[in-house]
């Protein structure tokens, strides 16, 4: 069946417009004018009048899509996509559309708060900014040892100000949340090809092999990536094969889906590599020229990973492994997909390296349609740049020398063991008491005034973390804030985008720029010089200073007008390594990682079975926590339109397993963790029976289960005219929260992370989310 | 779940647009139409012993029809805009017909009642004859309202308007029997023994008429359901819903057994001479018809459409 | 010039079940919580390991022979010249007969305004020369919108090149939302329902 694809049509449209332009000279009707426009404008529903607008950048997830805020009477009324943005091209996901809910969350904090009761009691008194800033800067100024200032923050790079502030204070403890997500992947890629991360060029691929990635529900570049993935699948007829432990939207749309035993996909990838090498389907020239191993050595090393061995552990049959390996090697261009979950095991770095190996030995590295290097601009640190204060036990735990992304899963434990004394803890855009493993310990530490004598939360909301603060500084949301954003480009053409306030910060809330600047000025001394910017523009200009093309195009002023910039004539520079080499010690892809060898780890991609997951007892199951399309980790918890869709997370179970345990659909069940150190050991929920899950796996959704973060996040109604709620934030919809009584944990589900122990891959230092073995029982 | 089931993982709930105000409105128009027809029959036959019944029903008919639309307006989301019905009428909508019928019919009914009470036989007869099609339309159109909402397979049948009419007759006669019996028992003391015997006979005859109408009603329902069960899947489900599903207790238990079968036995069986039995039967019949309105209106909307 | 005939094609092969269209619609149309002008139906069927999941974005079909408009007693629901079926918010009396009549369950009473609403293909945007909000936002461009009467429009070409389906064709309402590759049992109102996210309690009986 032939289909005129959207892409073809757009091309065709352009061509026919040209034809029509000629036609119209002869009096034909100019047809193109009647085409409806894809976006970039918005009108009032009743008056039809155009709305005023400003471009900005979405921060509801890392993808950083270009958005346009449409405003009426200084109120944000709609968020649309920025059609000029090279990544999302005018499209937005559900979370991006719902950003308006985060801006006008009725429980948003709009005045500085000081703790009135005991830590965590949720009792506050309102104080003035003057009082708040004086107290916080006084506390910071009074710290004895500089490293006793600890900053918990969002992925750095995107939260540059937090790092700048921490470093300006002389502390090396700017700790980012990355460690609980794809740190293992970042470390694996960094070690192997010298760049952290990857960007499969899926729109031009012919064969796509996914190891536990689920880009159709979640991806770090969600809209930009999935749009190109679907282009690849539909317009380019790419074949997609997925290995996963459950039925995801991605596996539902795939050509083939194989349920894989948890934590074994490294073995799976290695066995495919073994087939490719054994059968001589590899790209000898590429291996020879661009890796630091020989094909012969590699074949010898891989010989142990036979498809038969893989079948026994992964559950995927040897014949399927052979066939798919051969298809992958012979269909060009091809690429693999992984996101964070693939490497979220204690063998995660090696698993990621095993998957990379498939691309490497088939010569699919950084080719059109292949497995590409992440293309993104590097931003400068505005002068004067604070010096790197050096490693600390928290930022670089000695036990994990290669963990360049920090080991945040263990941070709270380390503080509890007094490996690092804390004077002031500042939490900013990282809801550690919701997002981390071992939440019992996280809460204990945050509650303990001897461990954390002073905690200042800079946040728009009273999150699970902020409830343990001594002072809350009301921050502006991303829709009222400034920053420069860069992301790896799914189009393979790097871009820079601007986050600018589409409406002014509400009431007394302030941007993080203003907060850090005012604190720095009060602290004074050497600190103040790093924040001596007159206007935020001066800071932003400093960040893009190194990007000549953008500066030439008008710099910040260009970005304010267009929201995004990329080199207009730029085309993907596939194979750029040919001139520069790879950024590894050897300049080649380090299949044999010298740095891993240095630290006594197996230097070749290899597989070690995870002890607990091998021979599961009859009643034992592996818990998988997954992301859904309508929620983003902690961040979207207060968005009512998203909660209306996702507010509950019953436990997925295969009917056969469930029936063997006497469990029926909807039954109340209890999951109890078998072993591992974490304070909270069990949780209760209901069973959801589905044929779409591996019989030895139980799965629960992430993004729900809030115990703070305001009423909406907890699935509670808010009376419209509640006098506590500022008029600006009132929304009659909040009295219609209908899911209030739904589910076993009414209105909000349960946070599955609480029973996950803090367990990391020693190489990458990233959390091993996937290794939780539980027993399941009816209650 | 069982192997191979279809799981609806996500879908949204839908509102139930028409609530029991509408069922009640149908019930009252039915009663009104039924009583009017009885009244006109009484007037036309012109016999002296029919007079009291003719008079009661002549008042009942318009009175009930003033109560009925109150339900209708109460159901509107914008009750203060009810006049839009007359200003912005739409001739393809059965509700538009209804609005005009609902206005014309009580007016006519009141004039008719005045004629009956002032003993002006000829104009009463003429008005009565003219009024019957109006009464039939007023109630028949309510059946059309359901029948023409083609989304709902329980409603969307050709039998619907007729079922509504016949059940209206049933409930109307039932109401007349009850009121006539009350009059006979407590407010008829001046009458002679002979008159009282005649009245009683009349009431019992009316009840028998009710039972025969009920039979017709049952036949229509039977054929309607038979067709539902053999038609497309939505209709089949609608049939099952009332036969064995959530609405079975009301439909089979209340509407069919309590509201039809038992009254028929009471009226036609050994107790057929007992005033008490006949009155109980008439009450049951009305409960049954009320249940029928409920099953139709509410049940009809519970078969999922999406 | 001939009348326009606006229509929508949803290419299920491209739909990834992300709910963006539903949320964009909530924002664009100020659709309150509880009710939906468009929503995503997700169905799972088959037996492990062959179970699959199917998506079906649902909205008002803006029917050619719109029974809702035919049955509306005040002409509050009416069909525009370009085929869009609209509701005049000031004329609607809230009799809900249109909701009862529509075979697709796509109309709702706005619980905050007490009037009946539904998707009207974002006619305010279309009138301003823009595609509907759900079309603009769809991450994978699964929704094509345009004038079917213009043979050169994208939608005409997509309709010409692909087999399409409509919901409940037997209702003879002439739906103008066409699906490519929609799964049949997902399109029908299947009996076995195990609702995971929503529990079937929202249906309201007010009295
Ligand atoms: N909607 C949404 N999008 C997001 C996010 C979000 O929260 N919501 N978060 C963003 C961020 S920060 C990140 S890091 C990424 C995370 O992106 P992913 O890593 O893709 O996300 P997950 O849902 O955690 O895991 C993906 C899949 O891994 C499967 N899986 C688990 N264990 C195994 C295994 O052993 N083998 C195999 N083969 N599969 C397994 C799970 O079933 C799940 O479907 O997503 C980003 N995008
Ligand atoms: N079991 C399990 N746990 C996981 C994961 C998993 O896959 N499985 N995923 C992990 C991953 S990948 C990650 S990245 C982490 C993420 O963990 P976090 O970084 O904690 O989560 P975020 O969702 O980024 O939100 C952080 C905070 O930013 C603040 N914030 C700042 N600006 C805004 C704004 O404008 N709007 C809103 N709404 N909030 C704002 C909010 O207070 C919010 O709580 O979670 C991890 N936790
Ligand atoms: S993908 Fe991420 S950045 Fe893009 S619209 Fe969705 S939430 Fe926003
Ligand atoms: S936005 Fe597009 S891909 Fe997402 S659910 Fe709607 S139609 Fe499907
Ligand atoms: S789908 Fe329903 S509401 Fe929409 S036009 Fe058709 S009949 Fe009317
Ligand atoms: S509810 Fe409004 S739009 Fe619907 S039929 Fe009644 S008057 Fe017409
Ligand atoms: S066309 Fe507009 S009103 Fe209709 S579903 Fe899409 S966004 Fe909603
Ligand atoms: Mo993440």
Q: What is the mean pLDDT of chain C?
A: 91
A338 in ligand 1 pocket by Cβ < 6 Å? no
pLDDT band at C197 (very low <50, low <70, confident <90, very high): very low
Rounded to 10°, the helix B275-297/B160-186 angle is 150
Residues A325 and A444 in one domain: no
Among C22, C140, C181, C182, say which to mutate for ligand 4: greatest number of ligand atoms within 8 Å of CB: C140
* H or E, element range at A261: none
**Tally of domains in chain C:** 1
* H or E, element range at A244: strand A239-244
A185 in ligand 1 pocket by Cβ < 6 Å? no
Per-residue model confidence as pLDDT tens digits over A389-413: 999 999 999 999 999 888 999 999 9
Least confident of A485-494, A548-557, A736-745, C32-41: A736-745
Query: Looking at the predicted structure, is the pLDDT value of residue C199 above 50?
Result: no
- Expressed as residue numbers, the domain containing B194 is 15-299
Nearest CA to ligand 6 atom 2: C92
The domain spanning residue B279 has which CATH number?
1.20.1630.10
Q: How far apart are CA A699 and CA A606, in angstroms?
A: 27
Q: What is the pLDDT at residue B191?
A: 78
Residues A707 and A631 in one domain: yes
Q: How far apart are CA A715 and CA A703, in angstroms?
A: 13
Query: Looking at the predicted structure, is the pLDDT value of residue A432 above 90?
Result: yes
Mean pLDDT calculated for residue range A680-686 = 93
Domain boundary among A334, A361, A388: A361
How many contacts (CB atoms, under 8 Å) link A and B? 11
Q: Residue C112 is nearest to which of A258, A641, A732, comparing CB atoms?
A: A732
Q: What is the pLDDT at residue A483?
A: 95
Q: Is residue A120 part of a domain?
A: yes
CA of C140 to the centre of ligand 4 (A): 7
Mean pLDDT calculated for residue range C39-59 = 94
Beta carbons of C139 and A640 less than 8 Å apart = no
Residues A344 and A212 in one domain: yes
C149 vs B50, residue with greater confidence? C149
Q: Is residue B216 part of a domain?
A: yes
Q: How far apart are CA A618 and CA A620, in angstroms?
A: 6
For residue A561, which of A53, A136, A65, A18 has the smallest C-alpha distance? A53
Name the one residue in this structure whose structure tokens are 């992958």. A328
Q: How far apart are CA B225 and CA B217, in angstroms?
A: 12
| Residue A103 zone, left/alpha/beta (φ > 0; ψ -120 to 50; rest) | alpha
pLDDT band at B278 (very low <50, low <70, confident <90, very high): very high
- Expressed as residue numbers, the domain containing A466 is 113-181+378-483+508-528
CB < 8 Å from B in window 592-651 of A? 645
Q: What is the pLDDT at residue B220?
A: 94
Of chain A, the percentage scoring pLDDT greater than 70 comes to 95
Q: Is residue A735 part of a domain?
A: yes
pLDDT band at A589 (very low <50, low <70, confident <90, very high): very high
Nearest CA to ligand 6 atom 4: C98
Q: What is the pLDDT at residue C191?
A: 57
Q: Is residue A646 part of a domain?
A: yes
- Cβ C120 vs Cβ C59: under 8 Å: no
Q: Is residue B306 part of a domain?
A: no
Q: Is residue C79 part of a domain?
A: yes
Q: Is residue C20 part of a domain?
A: yes
Per-residue model confidence as pLDDT tens digits over C144-192: 999 999 999 999 999 999 999 999 998 899 999 999 999 998 998 765 5
The domain spanning residue C148 has which CATH number?
3.30.70.20
Residues A313 and A402 in one domain: no
Torsion angle in degrees (nearest 10) through CA of B139, B128, B166, B262: 120
A613 in ligand 3 pocket by Cβ < 6 Å? no
Q: What is the pLDDT at residue C190?
A: 60
Query: Looking at the predicted structure, is the pLDDT value of residue A28 above 70?
Result: no
Query: Looking at the predicted structure, is the pLDDT value of residue A149 above 90?
Result: yes
Put simply, whether B232 touches A (Cβ < 8 Å) is: no
Residues A397 and A251 in one domain: no
Q: Residue B1 is nearest to which of C115, C191, C194, comparing CB atoms?
A: C194
> Closest Cα of chain A to C51: distance in Å?
6
Q: What is the pLDDT at residue C141?
A: 97
C133 in ligand 7 pocket by Cβ < 6 Å? yes
Q: How far apart are CA B275 and CA B279, in angstroms?
A: 6
Q: What is the pLDDT at residue B48?
A: 76
pLDDT band at A20 (very low <50, low <70, confident <90, very high): very low
Q: Is residue C1 part of a domain?
A: no
Put simply, whether A65 touches C (Cβ < 8 Å) is: no
**Distance in angstroms between the alpha carbons of the first and the last residue of chain C:** 51
The SS3 assignment for A281 reads coil
Q: What is the pLDDT at residue A19?
A: 37
Q: Could you tell me which chains touch chain C, where touching means 3 or more CB pairs under 8 A?
A: A, B
Q: What is the pLDDT at residue C42?
A: 92
C119 in ligand 5 pocket by Cβ < 6 Å? no
A191 in ligand 3 pocket by Cβ < 6 Å? no
Q: What is the pLDDT at residue B7?
A: 81
Q: What are the strands of the beta sheet with C52-59, ordered from one edge? A: B7-10, C38-45, C52-59
Put simply, whether C188 touches B (Cβ < 8 Å) is: yes
Residues A628 and A747 in one domain: yes
- Cβ A591 vs Cβ A604: under 8 Å: yes
The SS3 assignment for A162 reads helix
Residue B87: closest C-alpha in chain C:
C74
Q: How far apart are CA A768 and CA A759, in angstroms?
A: 6
- Cβ A150 vs Cβ A424: under 8 Å: yes
Residues forming beta bridges with residue A115, ordered by sequence position: A124
Query: Looking at the predicted structure, is the pLDDT value of residue B274 above 50?
Result: yes
- Expressed as residue numbers, the domain containing C106 is 6-205
The SS3 assignment for A492 reads coil
> Closest Cα of chain B to A86: distance in Å?
32
Q: Is residue C57 part of a domain?
A: yes
Per-residue model confidence as pLDDT tens digits over A342-375: 899 999 999 999 999 999 999 999 999 999 999 9
Mean pLDDT calculated for residue range A41-67 = 96
Residues A638 and A765 in one domain: yes
Residue A712: closest C-alpha in chain C:
C33
Put simply, whether C74 touches B (Cβ < 8 Å) is: yes
Q: What is the pLDDT at residue C1?
A: 53
Per-residue model confidence as pLDDT tens digits over B178-194: 988 988 888 877 778 88
CB < 8 Å from A in window 169-198 of C? 180, 194, 196-198
Token code pair at residue C45: 């069927």
Q: Exposed, middle or buried: residue C98 (CB in 10 Å: 0-12, 13-18, 19+)?
A: buried
Mean pLDDT calculated for residue range B248-253 = 92
The domain spanning residue A691 has which CATH number?
2.40.40.20
Residue C200: closest C-alpha in chain B:
B13
Residue A663: closest C-alpha in chain B:
B1
Q: What is the pLDDT at residue A18?
A: 38
Q: Is residue A579 part of a domain?
A: no
Q: What is the pLDDT at residue B202?
A: 87
C116 in ligand 5 pocket by Cβ < 6 Å? no
The domain spanning residue A221 has which CATH number?
3.40.228.10
Q: Could you tell me which chains touch chain A, where touching means 3 or more CB pairs under 8 A?
A: B, C
> Closest Cα of chain B to C160: distance in Å?
27
Per-residue model confidence as pLDDT tens digits over C67-117: 999 999 999 999 999 999 999 999 999 999 999 999 999 999 999 999 999
Beta carbons of A230 and C140 less than 8 Å apart = yes
**Tally of domains in chain A:** 4
Beta carbons of C188 and B233 less than 8 Å apart = yes
Q: Residue C207 is nearest to which of B13, B20, B237, comparing CB atoms?
A: B20
Q: What is the pLDDT at residue C50?
A: 93
pLDDT band at B238 (very low <50, low <70, confident <90, very high): confident
Q: What is the mean pLDDT of chain A?
A: 93
Q: Is residue B191 part of a domain?
A: yes
Beta carbons of A655 and B3 less than 8 Å apart = yes
Mean pLDDT calculated for residue range A195-204 = 97
Residue B13: closest C-alpha in chain C:
C202
Among C66, C76, C87, say which to mutate for ligand 6: greatest number of ligand atoms within 8 Å of CB: C76
> Closest Cα of chain A to C135: distance in Å?
8
Q: Is residue A90 part of a domain?
A: no
Q: What is the DSSP string of A176-198?
A: EGGGGTTHHHHHHHHHHHSSS--
Q: What is the pLDDT at residue C10?
A: 98
**Tally of domains in chain B:** 1
Q: What is the mean pLDDT of chain B?
A: 88
The ipTM assigned to this model is: 0.93
C98 in ligand 6 pocket by Cβ < 6 Å? yes
Q: Is residue A459 part of a domain?
A: yes
pLDDT band at B284 (very low <50, low <70, confident <90, very high): very high
CB < 8 Å from A in window 9-28 of B? 9-10
């Amino acid at each position: 069946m032939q289909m005129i694809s959207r892409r073809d049509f757009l091309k065709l449209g352009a061509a026919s417009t040209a034809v029509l332009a000629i036609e119209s000279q002869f009096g034909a009707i100019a047809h193109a004018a009647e085409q409806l426009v894809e976006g970039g404008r918005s009108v009032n529903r009743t008056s039809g009048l155009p709305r005023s607008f400003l471009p900005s950048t979405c921060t509801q997830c890392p993808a950083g899509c270009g958005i346009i805020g449409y405003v009426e009477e200084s109120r944000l009324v709609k968020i649309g996509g920025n059609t000029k943005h090279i990544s999302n091209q005018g499209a937005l996901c559900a979370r991006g559309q719902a950003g308006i809910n985060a801006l006008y969350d009725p429980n948003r904090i709009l005045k500085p708060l000081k703790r009135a009761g005991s830590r965590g009691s949720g009792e506050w008194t309102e104080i003035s900014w003057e009082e708040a800033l004086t107290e916080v800067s006084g506390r910071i100024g009074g710290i004895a040892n500089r490293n006793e200032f600890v900053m918990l923050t969002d992925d750095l790079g995107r939260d540059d100000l937090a790092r700048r502030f921490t470093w300006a204070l002389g502390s090396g403890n700017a700790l980012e949340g990355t460690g609980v997500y794809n740190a293992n992947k970042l470390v694996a890629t960094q070690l192997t090809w010298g760049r952290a991360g990857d960007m499969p060029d899926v729109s031009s691929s012919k064969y796509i092999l996914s190891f536990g990635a689920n880009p159709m529900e979640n991806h770090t570049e969600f809209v930009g990536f999935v749009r190109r993935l679907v282009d690849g699948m539909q317009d380019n007829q790419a074949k997609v094969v997925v290995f996963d432990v459950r039925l995801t939207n991605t596996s539902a749309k795939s050509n083939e889906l194989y349920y894989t035993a948890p934590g074994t996909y490294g073995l799976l990838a290695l066995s495919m590599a073994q087939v490719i090498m054994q059968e001589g389907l590899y790209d000898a020239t590429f291996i020879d020229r661009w890796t630091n191993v020989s094909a012969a050595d590699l074949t010898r090393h891989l010989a142990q990973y036979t498809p038969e061995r893989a079948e026994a552990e992964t559950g995927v049959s040897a014949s399927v492994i052979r066939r798919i390996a051969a298809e992958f090697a012979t269909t060009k261009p091809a690429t693999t997909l992984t996101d964070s979950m693939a490497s979220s095991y204690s063998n995660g770095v090696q698993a990621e390296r095993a998957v990379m190996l498939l691309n490497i030995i088939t010569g699919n590295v950084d080719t059109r349609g292949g497995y590409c290097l992440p293309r993104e601009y590097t931003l400068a640190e505005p002068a004067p740049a604070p010096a790197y204060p050096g490693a600390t036990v928290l930022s670089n735990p000695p036990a994990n020398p290669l963990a360049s992304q920090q080991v945040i899963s263990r941070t709270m434990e380390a503080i509890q063991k007094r490996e690092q004394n804390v004077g002031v803890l500042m939490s900013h855009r990282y809801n550690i008491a919701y997002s981390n493993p071992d939440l019992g310990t996280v809460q204990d530490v945050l509650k303990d005034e001897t461990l954390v004598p002073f905690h200042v939360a800079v946040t728009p909301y009273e999150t699970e973390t902020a409830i343990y603060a001594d002072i809350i500084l009301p921050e502006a949301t991303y829709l009222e804030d400034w920053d420069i954003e860069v992301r790896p480009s799914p189009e393979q053409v790097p871009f820079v985008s601007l986050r600018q306030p589409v409406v002014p910060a509400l009431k007394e809330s302030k941007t993080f720029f203003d907060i850090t600047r005012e604190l720095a000025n009060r602290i004074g001394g050497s600190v103040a010089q790093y924040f001596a910017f007159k206007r935020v523009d001066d800071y932003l200009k400093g960040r893009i200073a190194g990007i000549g093309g953008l500066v030439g195009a008008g710099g910040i002023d260009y970005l304010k007008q267009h929201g995004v910039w990329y080199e207009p004539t730029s085309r993907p520079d596939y194979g750029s390594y040919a001139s520069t080499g790879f950024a590894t010690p050897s300049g080649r892809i380090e299949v044999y990682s010298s740095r891993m060898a240095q630290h006594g780890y197996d230097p070749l991609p290899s597989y070690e079975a995870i002890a607990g997951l091998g021979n599961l007892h009859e009643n034992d199951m592996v818990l998988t926590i997954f992301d859904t399309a309508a929620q983003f980790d902690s961040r979207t918890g207060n968005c009512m339109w998203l909660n209306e869709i996702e507010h509950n997370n019953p436990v997925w179970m295969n009917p056969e397993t469930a029936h063997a345990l006497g469990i029926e659909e909807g039954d109340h069940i209890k999951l109890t963790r078998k072993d591992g150190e974490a304070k909270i050991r069990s949780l209760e929920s209901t069973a959801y029976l589905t044929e779409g899950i591996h019989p030895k796996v139980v799965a629960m959704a992430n993004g729900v289960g809030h115990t703070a973060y305001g009423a909406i996040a907890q699935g509670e109604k808010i009376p419209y005219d509640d006098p506590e709620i500022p008029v600006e934030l009132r929304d009659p919809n909040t009295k219609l929260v209908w899911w209030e009584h739904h589910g076993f944990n009414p209105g909000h589900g349960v946070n599955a992370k609480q029973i996950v122990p803090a367990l990391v891959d020693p190489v990458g230092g990233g959390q091993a989310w996937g290794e939780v073995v539980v027993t399941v029982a009816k209650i | 779940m069982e192997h191979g089931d279809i799981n609806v993982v996500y879908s949204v709930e839908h509102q139930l647009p028409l609530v029991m105000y509408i069922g009640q409105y149908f019930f009252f128009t039915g009663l009104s139409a039924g009583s009017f027809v009885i009244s006109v029959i009484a007037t036309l036959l012109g016999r002296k012993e029919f007079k009291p019944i003719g008079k009661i029903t002549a008042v009942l008919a318009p009175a009930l029809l003033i109560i009925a639309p109150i339900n209708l307006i109460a159901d509107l989301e914008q009750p203060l805009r009810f006049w839009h019905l007359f200003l912005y009428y739409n001739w393809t909508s059965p509700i538009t017909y209804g609005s005009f019928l609902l206005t014309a019919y009580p007016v006519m009914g009141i004039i008719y009642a005045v004629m009956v009470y002032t003993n002006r036989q000829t104009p009463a007869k003429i008005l009565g004859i003219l009024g019957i099609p109006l009464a039939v339309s007023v109630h028949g159109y309510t059946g059309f309202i359901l029948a023409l909402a083609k989304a709902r397979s329980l409603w969307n049948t050709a039998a619907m308007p007729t079922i509504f009419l016949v059940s209206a007759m049933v409930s109307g006669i039932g109401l007349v029997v009850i009121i006539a019996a009350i009059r006979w028992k407590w407010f008829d003391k001046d009458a002679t023994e002979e008159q009282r015997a005649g009245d009683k006979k009349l009431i019992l005859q009316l009840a028998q008429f009710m039972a025969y109408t009920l039979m017709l009603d049952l036949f229509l329902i039977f054929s309607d359901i038979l067709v539902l069960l053999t038609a497309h899947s939505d209709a089949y489900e609608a049939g099952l819903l009332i036969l064995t599903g959530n609405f079975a207790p009301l439909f089979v238990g209340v509407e069919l057994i309590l509201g039809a079968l038992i009254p028929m036995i009471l009226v036609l069986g050994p107790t057929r001479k007992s005033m008490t039995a006949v009155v109980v039967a008439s009450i049951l019949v009305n409960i049954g018809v009320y249940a029928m309105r409920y099953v139709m209106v509410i049940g009809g909307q519970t078969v999922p459409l999406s | 010039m001939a009348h326009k005939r606006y229509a929508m094609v949803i290419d299920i092969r491209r739909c990834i079940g992300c709910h963006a269209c539903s949320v964009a619609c909530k924002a664009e149309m100020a659709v309150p919580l509880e009710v939906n002008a468009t929503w995503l139906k997700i169905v799972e069927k088959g037996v492990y390991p062959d179970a699959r999941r199917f998506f079906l974005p649902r909205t008002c079909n803006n029917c050619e022979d719109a029974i809702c408009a035919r049955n509306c007693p005040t002409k509050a629901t009416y069909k525009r010249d370009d085929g869009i079926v609209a509701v005049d918010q000031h004329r609607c009396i809230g009799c809900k007969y249109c909701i009862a009549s529509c075979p697709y369950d796509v109309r709702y009473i706005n619980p905050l305004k007490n009037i009946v609403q539904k998707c009207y293909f974002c006619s305010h945007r279309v009138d301003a020369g823009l595609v509907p909000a759900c079309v603009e936002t769809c991450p994978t461009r699964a929704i094509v919108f345009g004038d079917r009467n213009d043979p050169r429009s994208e939608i005409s070409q997509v309709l010409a090149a692909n087999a399409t389906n409509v919901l409940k064709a037997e209702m003879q309402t002439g739906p103008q939302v066409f699906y490519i590759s929609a799964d049949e049992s997902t399109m029908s109102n299947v009996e076995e329902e195990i609702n995971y996210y929503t529990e079937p309690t929202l249906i309201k009986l007010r009295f």
